[in-house]
Structure 1
Amino acid sequence: MYNTIHKDIRNNIMIEFAKTVEMFGFTSLEARLFSYLYLEERPLTLDEMSEALGKSKTSMSTSVRSLADMNLVTRVWRKGVRKDLYKANKQLFKTFMTTYSHKWVEATNHQKDALMEIQKLITEEDSERQLDDLSTKLKDILEFHQLIEQSFRNLKST
């Protein structure tokens, strides 16, 4: 009885946590895999992950590589074990916010640069001031991007 209840609760936690992880732009499988590894007490092989989540070993390999690239999963070594073992990084907030903030800052900077190029065009081409409305809106949009960037930089430093 205890094992069934424990398994059900663990599965429900994994499902709900995976929904949160998906909000960070992860695929459904990456989110479930990370959640599963986070709840697991020991490092696992690709075979064990594959069996637990009912997906192919290839899918597990791709997903675990993606999670490792984001420093959410680490490959570990254990004496006498020939297969690669993986475990989840346990510092949830710091790890997710660092990764997520970095993505947002990069994306915001890219968009801000593109918008600034448009602003230059307006300045150079608008001798008759026909684009004042657009220019004002563009300034608001640029300010919005600057505020987003600053907010995520502040989050990143906590």
Structure 2
Amino acid sequence: MDELAGLTEEQRAKLLHTRRRVIESIGKNMDLYGITLSIGHLYGNMYFNQSPVTLDEMSHTMGMSKTSMSTGMRTLHDLKMINKVWGKGSRKDLYEVVPDWHQNFADFFSIKWRKALEQNMSALSRSMKEMDALIAEHSEDEAFLTLLTSDKSKIDEALNYYRWLDRLIDSFESGEIYQYFPKEE
């Protein structure tokens, strides 16, 4: 952290104390969304860096193994919260934080929701086809048809929800959501 080199010991201590509070808060917030506390702390530490960092530098800063650091960096990269960048004269991968919290939120939830949406839509669609086949096979059994019709109605409600969620995800990915909920400048 050479940006702290010109500070007095007192200035440095106060700044680091303030940063630690924010880093802890970021870690706890990300933990609420299923990202480990340590990965949240990694993002928080990177957030305050003035320039891109290597795995080794972050491993040293956080006191984590290079393997753990690599896993954390990969997770943050997959969530589009950090970018791999090129650094003149460096052979090692460099990473920097994506500082747009709105975009981080949109990307994180879009990735998570899209995955759940695709899995659930697939399962519900398969179940609907199976129910249609059962209805065709058992067209004479009134009691069974009543249950199947009721179940199909419930699945259709779930499919309506997932189609709505798909549109919501699209609005996050396109940025359209900000027309309805503008970012504060």
Q: What is the TM-score with the length of structure 2 in the denominator?
A: 0.74
Number of aligned residues: 158
| Matching of residues 101-120 of structure 1 within 5 Å | 101-120=110-129
Instruction: Kindly provide the amino acid, as one letter, of the partner of residue 168 in structure 2.
Output: S
Residue 163 of structure 2 aligns with an amino acid whose one-letter code is Q
Who is 2:151 aligned against?
Answer: 134
Two-structure CA RMSD over aligned residues (Å): 2.1
Deviations 1:77-131 (A, max 9, x none): 3334444332112222224413421331232132112102111222221323132
Deviations 1:14-71 (A, max 9, x none): 1111222334432222221112111211222222211221211121122112322333
Which range moves more in the overlay, 137-146 or 97-106? 97-106
1:1-158 residue pairs with structure 2 within 5 A? 1-126=10-135, 127=139, 128=142, 129-131=145-147, 132-158=149-175
Aligned partners of 2:23 and 2:44 also within 8 Å: yes
Q: Which has the larger radius of gyration?
A: 2
Do 2:80 and 2:107's aligned partners in 1 also have CA atoms closer than 8 Å?
Answer: no
Separation in 2 of the partners of 1:153 and 1:87?
26
Q: Could you say what secondary structure the match of 1:130 adopts?
A: helix
What SS does structure 1 have at the residue aligned with 2:154?
Answer: helix
Matched-pair identity in %:
30
Q: Which runs of 5+ in 2 are unaligned?
A: 1-9, 176-185
Instruction: Give the AA of the match of 1:10.
Output: R
Rounded to whole Å, the distance in 2 between the matches of 1:121 and 1:81 is 57
Contact 1:14 1:36 in 2 (8 A): yes
Question: Which structure has more RCO (C-alpha within 8 Å, separation ≥ 6)?
Answer: 1
Amino acid at match of 1:78: G
CA contact (8 A) 1:24 1:100 kept: no
Out of 103-112 and 1-10, give the one that drifted further. 103-112
